[in-house]
Amino acid sequence: MEQDSLLQRYRRDRRKLLEFLLSSGLIKEVRTPSGSTSLSKADFDKLSADYILHCIKSGGIVDVSEASKKYHAESAHPIMIHSKLGDSYFLTSDPDIAGSPPRRVPPSTSVSSNNHASSSSSKLDSFDMKSVETHGDDYGLKQKAEAAAARASFRDSGIPSLGLPTLKTGLSDDDLRESAYELLLASMYFSGVEMFPVEDRKKEKNSKFLSRLKSKREKPHSRPQLSERHSELVDTIRAQMQASYKSSSFLVNILEELLYFSAELPETERVIIKSCLAKIRDTKEWDVAMSPAQRVEIISSIRQVASKAFFQQGKFGLQNETYYWQAAYHLNIRLYEKLLNGVFDILDEGQLIEEADAILSLIKLTWSTLGITDKLHDALYGWALVQQFVDTAEGTLLEHAVLQLQRVVSAKEDDCTWCDSKLQDYHLHFSEKTVHFKKVVALASTIGMLSSADCADKVIVNASREKIKCYVERSVEAAIGRVAITVLESKERTHPLALLANQLRLIADRELKIFFPVLRQWSPESMMISVQKLHQFFGERLIPFLKGVSSLSEDARSVLPAAYALDNELGQLYTSSLEEQKVQHSPRPYLDHYQIEKVSGPLIIDWVIGQHTHILEWTRRALELEVSSIVGYC
C-alpha cells in the first residue's frame, strides 16, 4: 500500500482536530440552515477549522453555513502552516517528480509605452543642469537626449507572438500542457510504443483521453514490452512537462474548442455537442444522477459528431490530411509548442536536456494528429529556440536556432521582426553581451534578411549592404543619444564637451573591436559610416566652442586635449576603413579635422611667451636678491 501523502495526512489530522473540538464542550451553540443544533451530520471535510477555532475564542457560537463558505474560500489558495520556522504549504503533485523550481530570475514586468515615455520625459526634466548653465549652453545635447528617450519609448525587446487566434474556452497553459502530454502518450500507444512497464499499466488504464482515441482505431496494435530506456524517457517527459495526472475536466474544454468553436458543423450537431458537454460539466448529474448507460449514450453522441467532422475533406490536398488540421490549427500549434518546450531543462531553462533528440523523435509521433510537417516542425522549433533565447539570453540556444532555421526555405516573419529590432540598435543590445551579436547576425542571414556568404546575386548583395548601412546609422545615432543623456546627467565638474568626447571614443572603440569585424562581410564601409556620424556630431558642438576660446582657461585645457584625441582616433579609423575597402581615388581620403591646432597653437605660444616673461622677471629678482645679500655681507 502506498504511503499517504502529506496532503492526505493533513486532512486526516484536520478531521481529528474538528472531532476533538466538538467533543470537548468548547462549542456552546451550533447554527445550521436546517435549524439543527448538532454537527453529527455535517461534512467535516467541508468545514473551515480556522473558522471554528476563531468561533471558540470569540464565544463558542458556530455557524455551519459560514464555516462552509470559509472552507471554499480557503480552498482557492494553497494550504498553509504558519510556524516560527517559516510558512509551509502543501502541493497536490509530488515535488520529487516535478523537481525544484527554475533558478533563473523571473522576467521583469512589462511597462506600457505611455508610462515609459512619461518616465523618460520626467527624467529629462529633472536633469542636473548646473554644469550646463555655467557655460550658458547645453551644446544641443538635451535635444539629442530627448530624441533618444522618444526612440526608447517605442522599443520592443521581446519576440512577437505567433499571432494565433485566441482560444474561446479559457484553456490555461497548464491545461494545454496536460493535453499535450496525454496526446503524446496516446500517440505512443497507437504507434506500438509501450508507455509504462507492465506493473504500471493499471495506472493509465482509466485515461479517458486514451479510451476516446482508441475508439477511432479499428485495427489492433501490437504493444511490445517497454525497455528500461523508454521507461526513463517517459518519466523525463512527464517531469519536463510537469504533468500531474490531475482531473481530466479540461478535456471537456478541448472537445468544445475542437467541435463547437472550430469545426464547421450544422447547427443541429452543434446543439448536440453543446448539450452533451454541459451534462458532462455538471458533476452531480454526471457522477451521481446518470446511469452508466446514459453516460455511454452521451459519449457515443459526441463520438458520432466528431467522426463525421473527422472524415470531412481537407482543404489543402496534403497527404493524410484530415479536417482537423485546418479547423483546429490554432489549438494544434499551441499543443505542439508545449511539446517542444519539453526539451528545455526546467532547472536551467537556457539549456537543452540530454534526452532532447530522443524526445523530439517521440514528439514526431503526434504529427499525423496535429497536422505537422517537416517544414512546419523546423519553423516552429526554430521559433521556440529563439523565444527561449530571448527569455534566458543563453547563446547556445541561438546557435541551435540558426541550424534549425537553415532547414526552412522561407524566412519566418516573427524572427525577422525580432532580429530587425535588435540590429536597429545593436550598441544597446550587444555592447555587454558581445558574443551574441555574431549569432544574431548569422540568424538574420539564415532567415533571409541578409545575403549568405556565397550569394552571387548582386541585387540581394546590394540590398543587404544597404540594410547594414541603415543598421549602422540608426544604431550609432541611438548610441549618441544615450551618451547625450549620460553627459547631461553627469555631476562631474568636467566640461560637458570633454565628457562627450570621451564617451564618443568608447562608441568608436566598440564599433572597431566588436561590430565591424562581423558587419564587414556585408558592408566594408560600415566603419567609415560610424566614424563620419561620430565626427560630424561632435564637430557641430565643438566649432562654436572653439570660436569662443580666447585663452587657455580651465575649460579650454579640459576640452581641447579630449577633442584632439577623439579627432586623431577617428581620423585613423577613417583612413583604415578606406584601406579596408581598397579605395585608391576617394574624393575624401581624410576627415576634415577640427583645426584644433589653429586655435590652440597661438594660445599656447602666447602662454609660453607669457611664461617666458614671468621666468625672466623671476630670474631678475632672484639675481637682485643675491647681489643685495652679497653687498650686505661685505
At residue 78 the predicted structure's pLDDT band, cuts being 50, 70 and 90, is: low
Among residues 92, 112, 138, the one where a domain terminates is 92
Whether 633 shows a pLDDT value over 60: the answer reads yes
Whether residue 385 is contained in a domain is answered as: no
Domain total for the chain? 5
What pLDDT, in 10s, does the model give residues 473-501?
999 999 999 998 888 888 888 899 999 99
pTM beyond 0.85, yes or no: no
Q: Dump pLDDT digits (tens) for 167-200.
A: 888 788 888 888 889 888 888 888 877 554 434 4
Percent helix / strand / coil, the chain, rounded to 5: 65, 0, 30
| Same-domain pairing of 543 and 606 | no
In our burial notation (b when 16+ CB lie closer than 10 A, e otherwise), range 326-343 reads bbbbbbbbbbbbbbbbbb
Q: Render pLDDT for 584-628 as a digit per residue (tens, 0 to 9).
A: 444 455 677 887 878 777 777 766 777 777 777 788 777 777 767
- Asked, for residue 338, whether it belongs to a domain, the answer is no
State yes or no: pLDDT of 458 exceeds 70.
yes
Which amino acid is present at 537? Answer: F
Clarify whether residues 579 and 455 are in a common domain. Answer: yes
Last residue of a domain, one of 92, 115, 146: 92
Least reliable range by pLDDT among 224-228, 432-436, 466-470, 504-508: 224-228
Q: Are residue 75 and residue 179 in the same domain, yes or no?
A: no
When the pLDDT of each residue in the chain is averaged and rounded to a whole number, the result is 75
DSSP at 407:
T
What are phi and psi for residue 63, nearest 5 degrees? -105, 115
Q: Does any domain span residue 102? A: no
Residue 474: predicted pLDDT:
92
- Do 632 and 579 sit in the same domain of this protein? no
Looking at the fold, whether 469 and 574 belong to one and the same domain comes out as yes
- 152 domain residue, yes or no: no
Could you give the CA distance from residue 319 to residue 527 in angstroms, rounded to a whole number? Answer: 52
What per-residue confidence (pLDDT) applies to 37? 61
**Distance separating alpha carbons of residues 341 and 388, to the nearest angstrom:** 9
Among 92, 109, 130, identify where a domain stops.
92
Do 471 and 575 lie in a common domain?
Answer: yes
| 280, 302: one domain | yes
Q: What is the 3-state secondary structure (H, E, C) of 465-516?
A: HHHHHHHHHHHHHHHHHHHHHHHHHCCCCCCHHHHHHHHHHHHHHHHHHHHH
Range of the domain at 36: 6-92
| Sheet strands (E) in 32-177 | 61-63, 80-81, 88-89
Q: Do both 513 and 609 map to the same domain?
A: no
Both 231 and 295 in a single domain? no
Are residue 190 and residue 71 in the same domain, yes or no?
A: no
Residue-level pLDDT at 596: 81
Asked whether residue 63 is domain-assigned, the answer is: yes
Are 405 and 382 in contact by the 8 Å Cβ rule? The answer is yes
Domain-embedded: residue 34: yes
Average pLDDT (11-34) is 77
Q: Which of 144-153, 295-304, 583-592 bottoms out in mean pLDDT, i.e. has the lowest?
A: 583-592
CA distances from 571 to 577, 583, 584, 594 (A): 10, 16, 17, 11
User: Do 457 and 571 reside in the same domain of the chain?
Assistant: yes
Which of 333, 318, 329, 335 is closest to 209 using CA atoms?
Answer: 335
Judge if 300 and 180 occupy the same domain: no
Q: Is there a domain that residue 416 lies in? A: no
Which ranges in 282-373 belong to alpha helices (H)? 283-284, 292-310, 323-327, 329-340, 356-363, 367-370
Is residue 528 in a domain? Answer: yes
